[in-house]
């Protein structure tokens, strides 16, 4: 599974080493939301790459660009929260496993839609305590060398999160 990721921290590696593919049908998913994600499209809109308004927070899309650069803006508005896909309140490693599977789907969508562009997809799984994690978030942005790194160079500095990056 780690071969999909160009970069990850030790928390991510520790959890993902126990990964086994999740049968989406075995979870109590919000099927309507999951289907919207599968059918969603990614657009180039006013200089930014964004997903359908139904998948990301539409209010953020309408907000003014208060970010230093385009990549940071995209990183902020393209957030997908894994808990939004669940009918049940899951608070364990399955959140990350679902996030990984959704990230791979997102990578394929980006490559298919924009084959000549480079994107970074970030999976972040936030710890609430030493026994578990709170939420899993996926986001993406177009990689622009002029914008520099969005994440810290050493992902292990995110010591309360499991973080990984997929590149197209």
Q: What is the pLDDT along the chain (168 residues), one digit of tens a residue?
A: 889 999 999 999 998 887 766 655 556 666 676 677 777 777 776 666 766 654 455 455 545 556 677 888 888 888 888 887 776 667 777 788 888 888 998 999 999 999 999 999 999 998 765 555 578 899 999 999 888 888 999 999 998 899 999 999
Cβ atoms 127, 161 nearer than 8 A = yes
Domain boundaries, the chain: 2-19+27-167
pLDDT of residue 62: 47
Cβ atoms 127, 49 nearer than 8 A = no
Q: Give the C-alpha separation, 128 to 84, whole Å.
A: 18
pLDDT of residue 38: 75
Q: Give the C-alpha separation, 127 to 79, whole Å.
A: 18
Which residues are registered as beta bridge partners of 142? 119
Q: Give the C-alpha separation, 70 to 72, whole Å.
A: 6
Residue 85: strand, helix, or coil: helix
Contacts of 105 (CB under 8 A, 6+ apart): 37, 38
Cβ atoms 107, 81 nearer than 8 A = no
């Amino acid at each position: 599974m780690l071969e999909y990721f160009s970069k990850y921290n030790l928390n991510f590696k520790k959890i993902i080493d126990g990964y086994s593919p999740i049968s989406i049908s075995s979870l109590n998913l919000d099927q309507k939301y999951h289907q919207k994600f599968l059918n969603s499209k990614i657009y180039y809109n006013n200089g930014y790459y964004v997903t359908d308004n139904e998948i990301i927070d539409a209010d953020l899309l309408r907000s003014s660009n208060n970010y230093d650069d385009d990549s940071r803006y995209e990183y902020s508005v393209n957030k997908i929260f894994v808990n939004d896909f669940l009918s049940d309140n899951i608070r364990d490693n399955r959140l990350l496993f679902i996030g990984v599977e959704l990230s791979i789907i997102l990578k394929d969508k980006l490559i298919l839609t924009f084959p000549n562009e480079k994107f970074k997809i970030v999976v972040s799984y936030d710890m609430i305590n030493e026994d578990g994690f709170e939420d899993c978030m996926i986001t993406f942005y177009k990689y622009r060398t002029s914008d520099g790194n969005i994440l810290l160079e050493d992902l292990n500095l995110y010591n309360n999160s499991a973080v990984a990056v997929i590149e197209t």
